[in-house]
Every structure is written in C-alpha cells, then in structure tokens.
C-alpha cells in the first residue's frame, strides 16, 4: 500500500476528555511480505500521554494493545512545560538520575558566542557517543543523561533509533520505541514547535519517522511536512536537506508526489559546480530512488556527470560506491568517462572499502563492461590478504567480474580456490557455482585443484538436489572444460527426471519472457542448455570410455554447438579470418583447395578445413577425417585478457578435434598480427600448415 493512503483506523475523539490520546505504531513497509500494519496518530487533548498503543493486524482484523503502567510524578519521568528564553522546552526529570534535560531549538534568543561554542562541543560529544549506541534502550539512556538536548541532537537520536532497530526494513521491537516516554516527549515537542525547529532537524526527523513507518496522516507528520513545504517555497533549504526531504516524499507517496516538483526545481536552481562531493552523491541517490526513471531529469544528470569527473578525486570510498550504484540503477551507459575516473580513484581506496562498498564497485564495473589494469592489480594485492574474512557474496561477485571481463588473475583465483576448500560449507549453491564456474571458463587449474575438486565432489554428493537444474548443469560443464569429468553425476544429468526439470525451467522462462519482456529470448536459452548437454555427452563418449550409464537421448542432441546469443564456440574475428583466407589462396594457388565455415559431423564449426596433402577436398565432408586439417583462427576474444591462454570453450574444442582425428593448426592473433606483408603471411602459413613439405611458387 502507498503511504499516501489514509489508514483504515484512527483514534476516536471523546467529548470532555482531558487526556492526551497519543497512539503510535508502524505502517507496513512498502514491498514487505509482512501483513502487520501499525498506525501512529497523535490526537492532542491534554498533558497525560500514558495511554496504551493500539495497532491493527490487518490479516486477522483485530485490535491489539501494548499496555504499560501509568506514570506518576513522584517516581517516574515528569513532563513539565516551561518557557525559557522565548522558546518552549521539555524538561525530563527522572529523580534518581539527572537534574533536568531540555530540548532547545537552534538560534534561540539570548545565546552568546561562548554558549554556542560550548553547545557545539556538547553536540559533537553526543554525536560521537551516539555511534556506540546499538539499541534504542542505549539511545534513550544517552538522552536521559543530557542536561540540554538541541533539536538536531534529538533528530540524530531518532535516526539512530531507526537505524539500530531496523533489520531488513522491519522494526525488531516497536513497543520498546513507541512505549518510551522520552520518544513520546520528543515527538510531542517536534509536533508543537515545528516552526521553531532548524531545517536540518525537520528533515532528519522526517527521515527517522519514515524509517519508523510513522503514519503520514498523523498530526506530527502533517506539521513537519507542512513546515518543510513552506521552507522549500521560501528557498531556505540547501542541497542536503532537499535530498533528504525528497527521499522521504518518495517513501511516503512515490514519484507522483506533487511536492517533489518544487523540491527538484530548487535542486536544479543550485549551481552544480558549487556542490560538494557529498551533495553530488545525495542528488544521484535521490534520482536513483525513483525520480530519474524513464529518462526524467536527464539534462541534470548529464551536467552532473561532467562536473563529477573533475570532483571524483575528492570522493571517499563510500561516495565512490554510492555514485557508481546510482549510475547502474539509472542506466547511464553514456557516463563511461565518469565510470573510468571513479574506477581509477578507487584503486587507492581498495584497503578501505567495506565489503558492501567494494561489491557495489565490482557490480558497476561488471555492468558497464569496464576493466582496468591498475584496479585488477589492486584486487590482486587486497584479495589474498582478505579473502578468508570477506563475505561470500563479495567473493562470488569478484569471480563473476573476472569471468565476464576474461581476467585470468592467478593471485585472485588461487586465493579463492584456497578459501573455497575451507569455507564451502557456508556457501549457498549459487555462490558455489559462481566461484567455481570461472575456473572452467578461463581454463585455469589452481595449485590446490585436487583438494578443490574433492571438496566440490563432496558438496555435490550431499547437496545435489539443492542446486537449480540450470546452475548445476553450468557447474558440471565448467568441470569438463578443465578435464575434470563428473562421471558420478552424469547418469543423473542424462536421466529423464533431470531433463524434465530442465524443461520445467524452460517453460517458466518462456512464460516470464512473454509477460515481462518485449523480446522473447527463451528459445536462445533453451538452445544453449541443449548445447551444454550435447557437449557433456560428446565429452563422456570421447574421454570417458569406461562410462556405462545412460546416454543423452538423440532428441536432446543439437547438430551445432553455436547458438545465437549464447554459444559454446566464440565467433571468428572477421578481419583476421579474411587475412588468413587471402594468405591461403596465395599459398595453395586457388580457393578450391580449402573449405571455410564447415560444420563437422561432431557439432563443431571449422573456420577452415583442408587436406593435409594439399589435394582438393572431396564433396563429402565425412570421409577420411584423419587426413583433414582444421585451422583454428583464434582472435583476441578467444584468449584470457592480456594472456596467451585459450578460454575454456576453445580449449575443449581443439582437444576434441584432435581426439576425433583432425590435425589442428592454431593461428593465434598475437602471431599473425606481427606479419606486415604478403610474403611474410604466405611463409608463416606454409610453416604452420605444411611444416614438412617444400613450398611451391605459383
């Protein structure tokens, strides 16, 4: 439900009542699975706030009371209203602990420079102490120990309460908060004296109340929002306050909230060049929260990208992480210069990132398809030292980043392999797959490969049924690429039951693609999975002759391992292919002596096929395979980044072609690109293709 919808229950007024009915509770968290809805309504009548809270449990349709004893002036907190220096203050006077505590507003009359300095020192100490409060009880205890409590301190305390008492956007102990007399006193003071509060106190209090799911129709919230709107209209808010207010409005009513327009108008009127890095990050966050959807405020974003490039060096790890996350969520694919600059600046902060911050950076770089040599080197220094204490999700994300960018970093992969052996029991099935699959994709066996695969086999034996079918197939397929054959599990993979599970997954993907996407890609996914099954079958037949279990049924085998979108063969580099083809024509004397883009009877596509003795190829491609030469024209995309190591799917292809009887000749880009003229190309191809034959000149 939207917060803007009035709750289904509000406290009733009773004529002649002198009690102050102060009922507080929580609203449902938007997007949460909880059915419990607590509602806060402040209905003032008198000074007594000792009334039980009420909340509605919508799923069960009944009222539930949180009773507590009435407070007496002799033994408990006394709320006395005093006018002091022309402002309204609340004195909390627990007789056995402190003498008094007053809530003061910033800018009160009668303050001197001395008192301001003293007040600042008190505030700074309070903010420092507040960081060590890890429950609402500790926060309220800290508040009760103060003699003077400013509005900014009170708002900060409310924010801390919301922070420490919220887990996964759900309050852990609402009654401990809403039954507390100090909390009630602060709420009452903020409600009655909203016009005297500082702007920072108003927006931070709003932020806290939104996180605590306070009813936006309550008198407290209405007055704070009304006062905020007045100050926006007068142009009294800075960027920070505007962003906090905007986030609150988005939570309360969503992007359609009318009050967001003047807030954004004020943001746009500010000079972007004057914004601090913190303010830039906050505006990015505001747009990410919902205002930047469907290309709205794109002009503002473009200006921010340009300015942020020059201010990126001033950003700390938290700001770098925040801005990169916003760029991903807002799909700012044109902001690559900013991404590159932030990536470069993140190198020096590598040891200072929290796990969550580093994960955001990794996700952004993966999303934008950017990799940096110095960033990789920083990861190589950082991960081996920290991998055993890193969160499993972060380790999985790092491996995913390396896999997508084809970064074969031995220090990273060795460290992850070592940690996998010791931490694998703590990993989810998805995390296990995410950490192991890159080894196969990048064709790398770590030094502890034996212990790593023993651990993996043990996990598969005990948790086989917990893996999603497609994830399990990808995991086992990655083992094939490294010549580690999962023979113990092949029978289960080829079983009708497992195939049926895969078909069920196909159907779900198909339905979702129709419902939620305009371009149905489910066919491609199905074909890719069938390619994996077929290659698994070929591998077992070629490399595991001792296997006597069930075979893959013919109807599930594909004729080609190339599938559009997803393929077990890397597309040939056209430029390199054309140069090699021209060189072969010069070498052999005519085009008829070789064939190109040939589909072999074993599912693999051959870039160029020719007879080992230089004869014209027979019409049938099935005969005398042992006399055939397969040229593998390996462009840069077939190798791991900045190495001469073939990626896994190309390595297994060449291995299988050799087992099938082909003479495999590899033409790697890093050799061929060094040839500058036709003579060098022809000489190179002659030595590669016919190393033991004298070359004829045409």
Kindly report the CATH number assigned to the domain that includes residue 664: 3.40.960.10
Separation of alpha carbons 655 and 652, rounded Å: 5
State residue 452's pLDDT score.
97
Question: Coil, helix or strand for 150?
Answer: strand
Give pLDDT tens digits for 304-328.
Answer: 999 999 999 999 999 999 999 999 9
Task: Using a pLDDT cut of 70, give the percent of the chain over it.
Answer: 77
Torsion angle in degrees (nearest 10) through CA of 672, 676, 679, 684: -20
Comparing 65-79, 120-134, 373-387, which segment has the lowest mean pLDDT?
Answer: 65-79
Q: What are phi and psi of 81, to 5 degrees?
A: -100, 120
What is the pLDDT averaged over residues 648-668? 94
| 528 confidence band (pLDDT: 50, 70, 90) | confident
Cβ–Cβ under 8 Å, residues 302 and 333: no
Across the chain, mean pLDDT equals: 81
676 in the same domain as 586: yes
581 in the same domain as 550: no
Tally of CA atoms within 13 A in the half-sphere of 249 that contains its CB: 27
Is the backbone of residue 557 left (phi > 0), alpha (psi -120 to 50) or beta?
beta
State residue 544's pLDDT score.
92
State residue 278's pLDDT score.
97
State residue 505's pLDDT score.
59
Q: Domain end: 535, 568, 601, which one?
A: 568
b/e code 87-118 from CB counts within 10 Å (16+ = b): bbbbbbbbeeeeeebbbbbbebeeeeeeeeee
* Beta carbons within 10 angstroms of residue 486's beta carbon: 23
What is the pLDDT averaged over residues 670-680? 93
Is the residue at 553 inside a domain? yes
643 in the same domain as 594: yes
What is the pLDDT averaged over residues 286-301? 90
What is the pLDDT averaged over residues 454-478? 96
Separation of alpha carbons 530 and 512, rounded Å: 20
| 642 confidence band (pLDDT: 50, 70, 90) | confident
Separation of alpha carbons 122 and 541, rounded Å: 77
Instruction: State which residues form the domain around 605.
Output: 574-689
Chain CA centroid to CA 209, Å: 27
| 263 confidence band (pLDDT: 50, 70, 90) | very high
State residue 202's pLDDT score.
95
pTM higher than 0.95, yes or no? no
- Identify the helix (H) or strand (E) that includes residue 596: strand 594-599
State residue 649's pLDDT score.
96
663 in the same domain as 585: yes
Separation of alpha carbons 690 and 695, rounded Å: 8
pLDDT for residue 296 is more than 50 = yes
607 in the same domain as 642: yes
Cβ–Cβ under 8 Å, residues 627 and 619: no
State residue 618's pLDDT score.
60
Distance set, CA 639 to CA 22, 116, 666 (Å): 69, 66, 12
Is the residue at 670 inside a domain? yes
State residue 625's pLDDT score.
64
State residue 630's pLDDT score.
92
Is the residue at 367 inside a domain? no
* Beta carbons within 10 angstroms of residue 228's beta carbon: 25
Cβ–Cβ under 8 Å, residues 661 and 630: no
pLDDT for residue 463 is more than 80 = yes
pLDDT for residue 636 is more than 50 = yes
State residue 592's pLDDT score.
87
State residue 112's pLDDT score.
60
Cβ–Cβ under 8 Å, residues 326 and 287: yes
Give pLDDT tens digits for 529-572.
Answer: 999 999 999 999 999 999 988 999 999 999 999 876 668 999 99
Cβ–Cβ under 8 Å, residues 628 and 611: yes
In the sheet where 663-668 sits, what is the strand order? 594-599, 605-611, 628-634, 663-668
State residue 120's pLDDT score.
82
| 666 confidence band (pLDDT: 50, 70, 90) | very high
Is the residue at 581 inside a domain? yes
654 in the same domain as 588: yes
Comparing 69-73, 160-164, 443-447, 540-544, which segment has the lowest mean pLDDT?
Answer: 69-73
Closest CA to 537 of 520, 518, 563, 556: 556
In three state form, how does the secondary structure of 447-506 look? CCHHHHHHHHHHHHHHHHHHCCHHHHHHHHHHHHHCCCCCHHHHHHHCCHHHHHHHHHHH
What is the pLDDT averaged over residues 112-131? 82
State residue 55's pLDDT score.
34
* Beta carbons within 10 angstroms of residue 268's beta carbon: 13
Cβ–Cβ under 8 Å, residues 470 and 526: no
Q: How many independent structural domains does the chain possess?
A: 2
Q: Domain end: 513, 538, 568, which one?
A: 568
Question: Coil, helix or strand for 292?
Answer: coil
670 in the same domain as 639: yes
Is the residue at 215 inside a domain? no
Is the residue at 260 inside a domain? no
579 in the same domain as 545: no
pLDDT for residue 519 is more than 80 = no
Could you give the angle at which helices 113-130 and 151-164 cross, rounded to 10 degrees? 0
pLDDT for residue 425 is more than 50 = yes
555 in the same domain as 629: no
654 in the same domain as 556: no
Separation of alpha carbons 137 and 535, rounded Å: 61
Give pLDDT tens digits for 74-113.
Answer: 333 323 332 222 223 333 333 323 233 445 555 454 456 6
What is the pLDDT averaged over residues 484-494? 93
553 in the same domain as 607: no
595 in the same domain as 563: no
Is the residue at 316 inside a domain? no
Secondary structure letter of residue 396 according to DSSP:
H
What is the pLDDT averaged over residues 384-410? 96
Find residue 127's DSSP bridge partners: none
pLDDT for residue 260 is more than 80 = yes
| 588 confidence band (pLDDT: 50, 70, 90) | confident
Tally of CA atoms within 13 A in the half-sphere of 693 that contains its CB: 14
Separation of alpha carbons 3 and 6, rounded Å: 8
Is the residue at 329 inside a domain? no
What is the pLDDT averaged over residues 613-630? 66
Give pLDDT tens digits for 126-180.
Answer: 999 999 999 999 999 999 988 888 999 999 999 999 999 988 888 888 899 999 9
Q: Domain end: 568, 598, 620, which one?
A: 568
pLDDT for residue 286 is more than 80 = yes
Strands annotated E in 52-180: 53-57, 62-66, 79-84, 87-92, 102-104, 148-150, 166-167, 170-171
pLDDT for residue 22 is more than 80 = no
| 467 confidence band (pLDDT: 50, 70, 90) | very high
Query: How much of the chain is in helix, strand and coil states, percent to nearest 5?
Result: 55, 10, 35
């Amino acid at each position: 439900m939207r917060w803007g919808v009035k709750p289904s229950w509000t406290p009733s007024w009773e004529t002649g009542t002198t009690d102050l009915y102060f009922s507080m509770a929580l609203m449902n968290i938007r997007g949460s699975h909880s059915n419990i809805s607590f509602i806060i309504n402040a209905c003032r009548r008198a000074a007594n706030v000792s009334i039980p809270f009420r909340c509605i449990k919508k799923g069960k349709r009944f009222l539930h009371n949180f009773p507590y004893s009435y407070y007496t002036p002799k033994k408990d907190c006394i709320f006395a209203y005093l006018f002091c220096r022309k402002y309204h203050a609340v004195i909390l006077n627990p007789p056995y602990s402190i003498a008094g505590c007053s809530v003061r507003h910033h800018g009160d009359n009668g303050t001197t420079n001395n008192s301001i300095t003293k007040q600042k020192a008190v505030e700074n100490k309070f903010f420092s102490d507040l960081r060590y409060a890890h429950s609402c009880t500790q926060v309220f205890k800290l508040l009760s120990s103060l003699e003077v409590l400013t509005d900014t301190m009170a708002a900060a305390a409310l924010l801390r309460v919301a922070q420490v008492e919220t887990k996964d956007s759900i309050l852990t102990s609402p009654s401990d908060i809403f039954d507390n007399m100090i909390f009630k006193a602060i709420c009452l003071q903020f409600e009655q004296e909203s016009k005297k509060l500082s702007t920072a106190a108003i927006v931070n209090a709003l932020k806290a109340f939104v996180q605590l799911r306070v009813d936006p129709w309550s008198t407290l919230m209405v007055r704070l929002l009304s006062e905020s709107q007045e100050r926006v209209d007068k142009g009294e808010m800075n960027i920070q306050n505007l962003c906090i207010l905007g986030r609150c409005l988005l939570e309360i009513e969503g992007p359609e909230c009318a009050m967001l327009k003047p807030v954004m108008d004020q943001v746009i009127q500010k000079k972007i060049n004057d914004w601090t890095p913190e303010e830039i990050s906050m505006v990015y966050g505001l747009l990410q929260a919902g205002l930047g959807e469907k290309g709205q405020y794109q002009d503002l974003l473009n200006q921010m990208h340009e300015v942020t490039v020059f201010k990126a060096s001033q950003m700390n790890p938290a700001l770098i992480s925040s801005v990169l996350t916003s760029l991903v969520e807002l799909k700012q694919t044109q902001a690559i210069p900013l991404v590159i600059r932030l990536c470069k600046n993140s190198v020096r902060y590598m040891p200072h990132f929290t796990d969550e911050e580093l994960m955001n950076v990794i996700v952004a770089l993966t999303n934008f398809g950017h990799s940096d040599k110095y960033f990789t080197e920083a990861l190589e220094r950082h991960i081996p030292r920290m991998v055993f204490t890193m969160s499993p999700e972060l380790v999985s994300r790092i491996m995913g980043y390396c896999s997508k960018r084809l970064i074969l970093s031995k220090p990273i992969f060795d460290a992850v392999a070592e940690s996998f052996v010791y931490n694998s029991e703590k990993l989810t099935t998805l995390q296990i797959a995410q950490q192991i699959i890159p080894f196969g994709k990048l064709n790398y066996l770590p030094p502890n490969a034996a212990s790593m695969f023993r651990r993996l086999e043990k996990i598969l034996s005990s948790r086989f049924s917990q893996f999603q079918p497609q994830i399990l197939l990808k995991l086992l397929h990655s083992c094939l690429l490294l010549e580690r054959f999962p023979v113990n599990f092949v029978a289960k993979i080829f079983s009708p039951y497992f195939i049926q599970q895969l078909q069920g997954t196909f159907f779900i993907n198909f339905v979702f693609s129709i419902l939620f996407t305009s371009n149905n890609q489910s066919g491609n996914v199905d074909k890719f999975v069938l390619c994996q099954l077929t290659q698994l079958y070929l591998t077992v037949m070629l490399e595991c002759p001792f296997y006597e279990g069930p075979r893959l049924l013919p109807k599930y085998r594909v004729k080609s391992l190339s599938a559009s979108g997803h393929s077990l063969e890397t597309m040939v580099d056209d430029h390199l292919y054309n140069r090699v083809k021209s060189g072969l024509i010069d070498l052999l004397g005519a085009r008829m002596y070789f064939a190109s883009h040939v589909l072999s009877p074993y599912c693999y596509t051959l870039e160029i096929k020719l007879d080992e003795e230089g004869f014209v190829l027979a019409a049938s491609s099935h005969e005398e395979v042992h006399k055939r030469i397969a040229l593998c024209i390996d462009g840069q995309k077939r190798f791991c980044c900045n190495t001469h190591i073939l990626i896994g799917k190309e390595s297994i292809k060449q291995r299988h072609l050799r087992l099938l009887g082909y003479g495999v000749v590899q033409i790697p880009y890093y050799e061929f690109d060094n040839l500058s003229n036709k003579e060098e190309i022809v000489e190179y191809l002659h030595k590669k293709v016919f190393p033991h034959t004298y070359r004829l000149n045409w």
